[in-house]
Amino acid sequence: MGFAARHLLGIEDLSREEIEGLLESSRSFKEVLRRDIKKVPAMRGKTVVNLFYEASTRTRTSFEIAGKRLSADVINVSVSTSSVVKGESLLDTARNIEALNPDVIVVRHSSSGAPHFLARSVQCSVVNAGDGSHEHPTQALLDAFTMLEHGKKLEGLKVAIIGDVAHSRVARSNIHLLGKMGAEIRLAGPSTLMPRGVERLPVQIFSCMEDALAEADVVMMLRIQMERQGKGYFPSLREYSRFYGLTSARLALAKEDALVMHPGPMNRGIEISADVADGPRSVIMDQVTNGLAVRMAVLFLVSGGSKE
Amino acid sequence: MAMNVIIKGGRVIDPASGLDKVCDVVIDNGIIVKVGTAGKKTAGCSVIDASGKVVAPGLIDIHVHLREPGLEYKETILTGTEAAAAGGFTAVACMPNTKPINDNRAVTDYIVRKGRDEGAVRVYPIGAITKGSTGEELAEIGDMIEAGAVAISDDGKPVTSSVMMRRAMEYSRNFGITVVSHAEDMSLAEGGVMNEGALSTRLGLRGIPAIAEDIASARDILLAEYTGARLHLAHVSTAGTVRLIREAKQRGIAVTAETCPHYFTLTEAAVDGYNTNAKMNPPLRGEEDVAAIREALRDGTIDVIATDHAPHHYSEKDAEFDQAPFGIVGLETALSLTLSLVRDGVMSLSDALAALTTNPAKALGLPGGSLAVGSAADLVIIDLDAEWEVKPEKFRSKGRNTPFAGWKMKGRAAATIVDGKLVYQAEN
């Protein structure tokens, strides 16, 4: 059974079969993206609203282009231009958007669980484009897609996820996805940025980044958010970089053909050195391209599409 | 003029005296005049048949938020006390976080007067410890006590400075009042919205660690020991704080403690799915904590069951989890949830009732909580077998914010009597 749910709120709720279905469907759309004419009529007459409460270029643009390639009408509502600044609640904004009868609302919000709240309150489909520190399901799907595309098998794959796990929705969605698919997940980062109880997830935790990297097939670097500085999580960006930054010397500890991934936007020279980010093992730009295929699949499937 | 009332043939339980037998309670002019066999002459008396039911002292809830003055859209003294009466309570002590804060005589006066004029049950205001509950300057505590405040607390905005808490405790001794502590180390709890642990990590919600409560509880216990003040720890939710209280009591420190029905009934699992009606502070904890709270009720480490009744407007709870306010209503479900502790064998019926009557009265030095002859006739008649379903839309409280909606309950107040007058009677 593939993916046939009305919403995509998180990876945690998905079965292995649903994940495989989404990845399979993404492969078909990736093929579309290689054509001369990159547009298909799969969502003609349908409306997708991108409701973004947090600044985002990559994800919003990706969903927008994905919708347009599917021939959907895509409307962007972002925090700066909407009535949010007038103090309207998420619920009221969502109800107003719903009154305009969209088929899918793609939501990004700083509150964990906001898409779940929305899904309970509206009739249309809801796609989570990142909620607080909770989940970023399309990111995990595009990460898995990228790994597969580079010839990796998820079962038994050694994936090192390095950095601010506590605040990272990317980390959580990847842990759920890779865990369900049988990968071996290794986490490393300062203990101040390791969330309480993380050991109850299917992960191994390393206090030393080098140990986590040893023989890794994939190295996934998490973005360090500048606003974490001065909050006691780590003494300085310089020291953070010194112990948890990915340099070519550290990358040499991983397997020779290891992939380097980053969800973006990168802080070059902090969590990842420029030569690694631009180096031969970096698949960071592939991640961005694949995001489009994955989001086309997600929009198509939640709005009731099927391959038949 | 007040009539004589005879409550006939109930199982009369008075935990304060250890009484537990089938007999009558005779009330004259709002005062209990006899607990035993009523005489044959019932002419001019109103007779309430309590056969098959339990007759107990009216329940006392020493931790409620009535929201008036200032937040009447959430609750009023009228609606809050009607909810109390429906829950079997005959007295409530209300926290000072109204708008304005009850940190001066004028506000205390207002609450006392409103409670007397409109309240269905007795209303005892708790005054703020510090002005505006900002933790910076002592409020005019003596003034508030004169106006009718019964204790002091900066509930919800705990006193962060240890020296300020020390001064408050020292000063409280002059007035013989209890200091009620909402024990929370705010720096550890900062930004948290649920219990910290594997679930908060999974949900991506900022956690409030159990140690935030334990560290603050330890501080206040040590301060109480040092100053000789009477300390009452509000809404205890952790195994760690239970250990601290147990040890403090063994050492003879004047500390009492309360927990709330949700802390002995629910775990943090109720939050899953971002259920804002399971969001309160302190947060619902883990299974070990719930087990420790139940054990503490069993062995008497925790003396009191209070509700922390915290009504909110439905639109405030219908929001993103981290944006929704803390708190749930509790007055209309507390008795039933406590009775399930009795059925589970955690406490005897008499001990459970003690935690709702004489123990809270003692903790704050309030009158009532017993069926002593000569005391005001505040009673509850309990139907232990009544089965009912929690329907928030039927609450007397304006608040609908309960995690127990749809729960099948057993046992509830059949009637509530204040000063010999019926203030609540259950529909059949």
pLDDT of residue B161: 97
Of A89, A116, A166, which has the smallest distance from its Cβ to B274's Cβ?
Answer: A116
In this structure, the answer to whether residues B133 and B40 fall within a common structural domain is: no
Is the per-residue pLDDT at A90 higher than 50? yes
Does a structural domain hold residue B402?
Answer: no
User: In this predicted model, what pLDDT tens digit does every residue of A124-142 receive, in sequence order?
Assistant: 999 999 999 999 999 999 9
In this structure, the answer to whether residues B32 and B92 fall within a common structural domain is: no
Task: Give the residues across from B151 on adjacent strands.
Answer: B126, B178
Does a structural domain hold residue B370?
Answer: no
Residue A308: pLDDT band by 50, 70, 90 thresholds? very low
Instruction: Please state, in angstroms and rounded to a whole number, the distance separating the CA atoms of residues B26 and B35.
Output: 6
> How many alpha carbons lie under 13 Å from residue A262 in its C-beta half-sphere?
25
Q: What's the CATH architecture for A16-133+288-302?
A: 3-Layer(aba) Sandwich (3.40)
* CA dihedral sign of residues A230, A234, A235, A237: negative
- Between A91-100, B66-75, B84-93, the lowest mean confidence (pLDDT) is in A91-100
pLDDT of residue B74: 98
Contact criterion met (CB < 8 Å) for B197 and A197: yes
A197 CB within 8 Å of a chain B CB: yes
Is the per-residue pLDDT at A83 higher than 80? no
Q: B205 contacts in A (CB within 8 Å)?
A: 112-113, 132-134
Q: Do domains A16-133+288-302 and A151-282 have the same CATH topology?
A: yes
Contact criterion met (CB < 8 Å) for A134 and B196: no
Does a structural domain hold residue B249?
Answer: yes
* CA dihedral sign of residues B354, B359, B362, B364: negative
In this structure, the answer to whether residues B8 and B114 fall within a common structural domain is: no
Cα B423 to the chain's mean position, in Å?
A: 19
Picking from A111, A116, A193, A222 by the largest number of B CB atoms within 10 A of its own CB, the best residue to mutate is A111
CATH of the domain at B353: 3.20.20.140
Residue B41: pLDDT band by 50, 70, 90 thresholds? confident
Collect all residues with Cβ–Cβ distance below 8 Å to A239 and sequence separation of at least 6. Answer: none
Contact criterion met (CB < 8 Å) for A196 and B201: yes
Does a structural domain hold residue B105?
Answer: yes
pLDDT of residue A199: 95
CATH of the domain at B33: 2.30.40.10
Domain that holds residue B416: 4-55+375-386+408-425
In this structure, the answer to whether residues B113 and B49 fall within a common structural domain is: no
Does a structural domain hold residue B248?
Answer: yes
Does a structural domain hold residue B96?
Answer: yes
In this structure, the answer to whether residues B158 and B46 fall within a common structural domain is: no
Q: A91 contacts in B (CB within 8 Å)?
A: 318-319
In this structure, the answer to whether residues B51 and B65 fall within a common structural domain is: no
pLDDT, mean of residues B31-60: 92
pLDDT of residue B295: 98
Pick the residue from chain A with its C-alpha nearest to B275.
A117
Q: B202 contacts in A (CB within 8 Å)?
A: 12, 172, 197, 201
Q: Show the tokens assigned to B166.
A: 């020390």
In this structure, the answer to whether residues B333 and B381 fall within a common structural domain is: no
The three-state (H, E, C) secondary structure of A171-215, written as one string: HHHHHHHHHHCCCEEEEECCHHHCCCCHHHCCCEEECCHHHHHCC
pLDDT of residue A85: 57
Q: Answer yes or no: pTM beyond 0.90.
A: yes
In this structure, the answer to whether residues B64 and B51 fall within a common structural domain is: no
Query: Is it true that domain A151-282 has CATH number 3.40.50.1370?
Result: yes
Does a structural domain hold residue B397?
Answer: no
In this structure, the answer to whether residues B49 and B162 fall within a common structural domain is: no
Residue B176, amino acid = G
Closest CA to A25 of A36, A40, A46: A40
pLDDT, mean of residues B232-242: 98
User: In this predicted model, what pLDDT tens digit does every residue of B132-146 receive, in sequence order?
Assistant: 999 999 999 999 999
Where do the domains of chain A lie?
A: 16-133+288-302, 151-282
Number of domains in chain B: 2
Closest CA to B9 of B40, B42, B44, B37: B37
